[in-house]
């Protein structure tokens, strides 16, 4: 049945948000993330299609450390930062956060991926309410990496996350940038960004900021942290800070 459907991205005239014209219903999405997508399947896919340098553990870990250091500084450098990883997957960021001394919990609907995260020492829960009960109330920081594009009601979910943050708290949102993709994807990279079935929405820097402001968030100043003293990496980070352009990877603060 799905093979007979036609790929189509639709743009909302009111808010400019882009979304797939045809998406799975609630039962289909629950089946997709609860059973169809498992940790081993994702690892096989990444091994075949993601460049080795982007999968290398040190490179991935360095990226997470830099994000956490930036969030810690923007959140006012709390002595024990309470972190929520919403959509934590296999728990990689949770393990790094715990190693840095942060108090971290995760939320993920995938049974197999959350089991792997828990096996790695992270506390992973199926719902936001359970995670907040575990960590003891509102949090200082939230990671939301490649989650927003999967949500049927992204604004409602984002609003609930804002309510879970303390005033002055920060949230890092990462979602694919779908600028320039108005029809069927022509490259594999574009296919990953709009991914039919898995992705529901497609964001641009403008629509991401508009939604964030609508739920009470403000863009945080760009802050680059150094996770290594290697000259090449330091130069790359500083050049990135100076030449930063609008992005769908942003940190926002709750006033």
| Residue pointed to by tokens 């150094």 | 226
pLDDT band at 64 (very low <50, low <70, confident <90, very high): confident
Confirm whether 211 is domain-assigned.
yes
Tell me the C-alpha distance between 95 and 93, whole Å: 5
Q: Report how far residue 53's alpha carbon sits from residue 37's, in angstroms, rounded to the nearest whole number.
A: 24
φ/ψ (deg, to 5) at 94: -60, -45
In a domain, 199, yes or no: yes
25: in domain: yes
In a domain, 2, yes or no: no
113-126 per-position pLDDT tens digit:
666 656 655 688 98
Whole-model pTM: value is 0.80
Q: Domain containing 205: what range?
A: 9-254
Report the pLDDT averaged over residues 157-168. Answer: 97
- Output phi, psi for 11, to 5 deg: -110, 130
pLDDT score of 30 more than 70: yes
119 inside domain: yes
> Does the residue 150 lie in any domain?
yes
Output the pLDDT for position 160: 97
Checking if the pLDDT of 243 tops 60, the result is no
Asked if residue 4 belongs to a domain, the reply is: no
Per-residue pLDDT tens over the stretch 164-176: 999 999 999 999 9
Task: Say if 1 falls within a structural domain.
Answer: no
CATH of the domain at 83: 3.40.50.150
- 35-39, 67-71, 128-132, 241-245: the lowest-pLDDT one: 241-245
Tokens of 150: 């999967």
Please count the structural domains in the chain: 1
The pLDDT score that the predictor gives to residue 118 is 60
């Amino acid at each position: 049945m799905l093979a007979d459907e036609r790929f189509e991205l639709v743009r909302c005239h009111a808010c400019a948000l882009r979304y797939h014209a045809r998406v799975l219903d609630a039962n289909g999405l629950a089946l997709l993330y609860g059973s169809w997508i498992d940790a081993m399947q994702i690892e096989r896919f990444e091994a075949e299609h993601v460049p080795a340098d982007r999968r290398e553990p040190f490179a991935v870990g360095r990226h997470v450390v830099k994000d956490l250091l930036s969030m810690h500084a923007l959140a006012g450098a709390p002595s024990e930062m309470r972190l929520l990883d919403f959509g934590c997957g296999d728990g990689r960021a949770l393990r790094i956060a715990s190693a840095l001394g942060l108090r971290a919990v995760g939320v993920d609907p995938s049974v197999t991926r959350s089991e792997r995260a828990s096996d790695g020492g992270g506390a992973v829960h199926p719902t936001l309410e359970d995670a907040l009960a575990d960590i003891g109330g509102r949090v200082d920081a939230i990671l939301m990496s490649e989650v927003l594009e999967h949500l049927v009601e992204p604004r409602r979910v984002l609003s609930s996350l804002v309510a879970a943050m303390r005033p002055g708290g920060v949230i890092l949102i990462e979602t694919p940038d779908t600028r320039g993709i108005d029809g069927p994807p022509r490259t594999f990279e574009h296919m990953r960004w709009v991914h039919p079935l898995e992705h529901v929405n497609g964001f641009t820097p403008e629509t991401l900021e508009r939604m964030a402001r609508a739920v009470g968030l403000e863009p945080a100043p760009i802050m680059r942290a150094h996770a290594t003293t290697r000259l090449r990496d330091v130069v790359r980070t500083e050049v990135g800070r100076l030449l930063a352009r609008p992005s769908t990877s942003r940190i926002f603060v709750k006033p």
